[in-house]
Homo-oligomer: A and B are copies of this chain.
Amino acid sequence: MPIVNIQITREGTGPGRHAATAEEKAAVIKGVSQVLLDVLKKPLDATFVVIEEVELENWGWGGQSVSALRRQQAGGSR
Contacts and interface: CB of A to CB of B under 8 A. Distances in A.
Interface of A: 1-9, 13, 20, 22, 24-42, 44-45, 47-54, 57-68
A59 B1 contact: yes
Q: What's the number of copies of this chain in the assembled complex?
A: 6
Given A3-B3, A5-B7, 10 more contacts: A4-B60, A8-B42, A13-B40, A28-B60, A30-B63, A34-B63, A35-B35, A48-B60, A49-B59, A50-B59
Contacts of A50: 3, 7, 54, 58-60
Which 6 A-B pairs rank lowest in CB-CB distance, beginning with the nearest? A29-B60, A49-B60, A31-B35, A33-B63, A44-B63, A51-B58
Contact of A8 (B2, B8, B20, B44): B2
